[in-house]
Structure 1
Amino acid sequence: MRPPLRRIPAALLLASTLSPFQAAISDEIRAGQFYEQAIQAQQNQNLPEAIIDLKNALQENPNYVAAHILLGEIYLKQQSLSEAEVQLTQAKQLGADQALLIKPLAQLYLYQLKYDQLIKEIDPSRFSRDLQPTLHLFRGHAYVQLGELSAALNEYDMASQINPGQIDSLIGRANTLLRRGDIDGARTATDKALQMKPDDPGVRFVIGSIKHSQGDLNGALTEYDATLAAQPEHLDARLARIGILMDQHRDDQALQDLDYVKEHYSFDPRGNYLRSVILARNNRIDESVKELNTAADTLVNLKPELVTAHAQTLMLSGLVNFGLQRYDIAVSHLQLYVRQFPEQIGGYKLLASALLAKNEPEQVITLLKPVLVRNPRDYRLMFLLGSAYMRTGRHDLASTMLEKASALSADGEQIHTEIGLNLLSMGQEQMAAEELEASFKNNPGNTQAGTHLVSIYISRGESANALRVAKAMVEQAPKNITLINLMGTAQVSAKQYKQARQSFERAIELEPNFVAAYVNLGRLDAAENKLDAAKSRLENLLNKQTDNVTLMTELALIELAAGNPERAESWLAKARKVDQKSIPVLLALIEVKLHTGKTTEAVSIAEAAELIDKNDHKVLDALARCYLANNSRDRALAIYIRMADQARLSAKLLYKVARRQLDAEDQYEAIKTLKKAVLADPKHLPSQIALVETELNYGKPVFALSRAENLRQQYPNRSFARTLLGDIAMHDKNYALAVTHFQEGFNLEPNSQVLMKLFDALKQTDRNSEAYGLLSNWLEKHPEDNVPLAALAEENMRAGRFAAAEKQYDKLLKKFPDEPQFLNNLAYVYFNLGNPKALVLAENAVKLAPEHPSANDTLGWILANTGNPEKGLRYLRDAHSRLSGDPEIRYHIAAALEMLQRNDEAKAELQEALNSGQSFNGIDKAKILLEKLNR
Structure 2
Amino acid sequence: MTSLLYRAAVRWVLPLALAAGLAHGWPAWATAPVAAPGNTQAARYYEDALSRYDRRDLAGAILQLKNALQIDRNLLQVHVLLGQALLAQGDAAAAEVSFTEALRLGVDRAEVVVPLAQALMAQGKQADVLNQPRLALAGLRPPVQAALLLQRAAAASDLGDGVQALRAIEQSRALVPSADAWVAEVAVRLRARQLAEAGAAADRALALAPTAAAAHYQKGAVLQLQGDLAGALAAHERALQLDPAHIEARVARIGLRLDQQRDADARADLVELQRLSPREPRGAYLRALLAERAGDLPAAHTALRQVTDLIDPVPLDYIRHRPQLLMLNGLAHFGLGEREKAKPYLELLQRLQGASPASSCWRRSTSTKATPTGRCCCWKPT
TM-score, scaled relative to structure 2: 0.62
- 1:694 equivalent to 2:294? Answer no
1:590 maps to 2:220: yes
Give the deviation of 1:413 after TM superposition.
1.0
Q: Which residue is equivalent to 1:819?
A: 363
Match of 1:663 in 2: 289
Q: Secondary structure at the match of 1:819?
A: helix
| Cα distance change on mapping 1:421 and 1:618 into 2, 3 Å | farther
Task: For 1:533, give the aligned amino acid.
Answer: Q
Distance change (3 Å), C-alpha of 1:633 and 1:493: closer
Q: Are positions 1:539 and 2:83 aligned together?
A: no
Take 2:300 and 2:123, find their aligned partners in 1: how far apart are those partners? 35
Judge conservation of contact 2:213–2:240 (CA < 8 Å) in 1: no
Structure 1 residues 482 and 507: alpha-carbon distance in aligned structure 2, compared to 1, 3 A threshold: farther
State the alpha-carbon separation in 1 of the partners of residues 187 and 203 from structure 2: 13
Change (3 A) 1:667 1:414: farther
Larger Rg: 1
Q: Does the C-alpha gap of structure 1 residues 450 and 660 become closer, same or farther in structure 2, counting only changes over 3 Å?
A: farther
Alignment match, 2:238: 608
Structure 1 position 414 matched with structure 2 position 39: no
1:565 paired with 2:195, answer yes
Gaps in structure 2 of 5+ consecutive residues: 12-37, 304-308, 310-332, 344-358, 370-375
Matches of residues 906-925 of structure 1 in structure 2 within 5 Å? none
Change (3 A) 1:427 1:555: closer
**Does the 8 A contact of 1:485 with 1:516 survive in 2?**
yes
User: Structure 2 matches for 1:128-527, cutoff 5 A?
Assistant: 411-424=40-53, 429-441=58-70, 442=72, 444-447=74-77, 449-458=78-87, 462-477=91-106, 479-503=108-132, 506-511=135-140, 513=142, 514-527=145-158
Structure 1 residue 536 displacement after superposition: 1.4
Equivalent residues of 2:183, 2:205 under 8 A apart: yes
Report SS of the residue matched to 2:291. Answer: coil
Partner of 2:316 in structure 1?
Answer: none
Seen in structure 2, the aligned counterparts of structure 1 residues 541 and 456 have a Cα distance that, compared at 3 Å, is closer
Deviation per residue, 1:219-269 (Å, 9 max, x gap): xxxxxxxxxxxxxxxxxxxxxxxxxxxxxxxxxxxxxxxxxxxxxxxxxxx
Q: Is the Cα–Cα contact under 8 Å of residues 86 and 95 in structure 2 kept in the other structure?
A: yes
Out of 631, 652, 664, the position equivalent to 2:279 is 652
1:627 aligns with 2:171: no
CA 1:567 to 1:446, structure 2 compared with 1: closer, same or farther past 3 Å?
same
Q: 1:505 to 1:631 in 2, by over 3 A?
A: farther
CA distance in structure 1 between the aligned counterparts of 2:292 and 2:271, rounded to whole angstroms:
10
Q: Cα–Cα, structure 1 residues 543 and 596, in superposed 2: closer, same or farther, change >3 Å?
A: same
Residues 608/696 of structure 1: CA separation in 2 closer, same or farther (3 Å cut) = closer
Q: Which amino acid aligns with 2:363?
A: E
* Contact 2:186/2:199 (8 A) holds in 1: yes
Once the two structures are TM-superposed, the CA of residue 584 in structure 1 deviates from its matched residue by 0.9
The percent of aligned pairs where both chains have the same amino acid is 10
Find the aligned partners of 2:360 and 2:243 in 1 and give their Cα distance: 45
SS at match of 2:63: helix
Query: Does structure 1 retain, via aligned residues, the 8 Å contact 2:146–2:175?
Result: no
**Distance between the aligned counterparts of 2:271 and 2:141, measured in 1?**
45
Question: 1:501–1:521: 8 Å Cα contact kept in structure 2?
Answer: yes
Give ranges in structure 1 of 5+ residues lacking alignment: 1-8, 21-408, 672-689, 699-719, 721-752, 759-783, 789-814, 826-845, 852-935
**Relative contact order (C-alpha < 8 Å, sep 6+): which is higher?**
2
RMSD: 4.5
Measured against aligned partners, the alpha-carbon deviations of 1:869-902 in whole angstroms (never above 9, x if no partner) come to xxxxxxxxxxxxxxxxxxxxxxxxxxxxxxxxxx
- CA 1:643–1:537 in structure 2 vs 1: closer, same or farther (change >3 Å)? closer
The 1:637–1:495 alpha-carbon spacing in structure 2 relative to 1, beyond 3 Å, is closer
* Aligned CA distance change for structure 1 residues 438 and 631 (closer, same or farther; 3 Å): same
Equivalent residue runs for 1:689-768 within 5 Å: 694=299
Q: CA deviation at 1:531?
A: 0.5
User: 2:34: which partner in 1?
Assistant: none
Deviation at 1:479, TM superposition (A): 4.3
Quote the offset at 1:492 in angstroms: 3.2
Contact (CA 8 Å) 1:600, 1:630: kept in 2 or not? no
Structure 1 pair 470–639 and aligned structure 2 pair: CA distance change class (3 A): same
1:486 maps to amino acid:
P
How far is the alpha carbon of 1:480 from its aligned partner?
A: 2.6
- Alpha-carbon distance in 2 for matches of 1:437, 1:580: 39
Q: Deviations over 1:530-564 (max 9, x none)?
A: 1011101211332454x310001111110000110
The two structures have a TM-score, normalised by structure 1, of 0.28
CA drift at 1:420: 3.0
Q: Residues 508 and 819 (structure 1 numbering): CA distance in 2 closer, same or farther, change over 3 Å?
A: same
Distance 2:293 2:260 in 1: 21
Whether the aligned pair in 1 keeps the contact of 2:86 and 2:92 (CA below 8 Å) is yes
Q: Which whole-Å deviations, capped at 9, do the CAs of 1:702-722 have from their partners, x for residues lacking one?
A: xxxxxxxxxxxxxxxxxx9xx
Q: 2:284, 2:361 → 1: CA distance?
A: 35
Write the letter of the residue equivalent to 2:47.
E
Q: Aligned with 2:193: secondary structure? A: coil
- Secondary structure of the residue aligned to 1:468 is helix
Q: In structure 2, what residue type is equivalent to 1:526?
A: S
Question: Greater share of helix residues, 1 or 2?
Answer: 1
> Deviations along 1:704-748, whole A, 9 cap, x unmatched?
xxxxxxxxxxxxxxxx9xxxxxxxxxxxxxxxxxxxxxxxxxxxx
Do the aligned residues in 2 keep the contact of 1:606 with 1:626 (CA within 8 Å)? no
Deviations 1:615-657 (A, max 9, x none): 544443333333233443333223234445x53xx6436x764
Closer, same or farther: CA 850–495 of 1 in aligned 2, 3 Å: closer
**Deviation of the 1:606 alpha carbon:** 1.9
CA deviation after TM superposition for structure 1 residue 439, in Å: 1.8
Give the count of matched residue pairs. Answer: 297
Partner SS for 2:118: helix
1:652 maps to a residue whose letter is R
Q: 1:843 — aligned with what?
A: none
CA distance in 2, matches of 1:787, 1:639: 28
* Secondary structure of the corresponding residue to residue 652 of structure 1: coil
Q: Which amino acid aligns with 1:628?
A: L
CA distance in 2, matches of 1:639, 1:757: 29
| C-alpha distance in structure 2 between counterparts of 1:787 and 1:628, whole Å | 25
Give the Cα separation in 1 of the matches to 2:51 and 2:368.
57
Cα distance in 2 between the residues matched to 1:695 and 1:816:
23
Deviation at 1:501, TM superposition (A): 2.5
Q: Does the 8 Å contact 1:455/1:466 carry over to 2?
A: yes
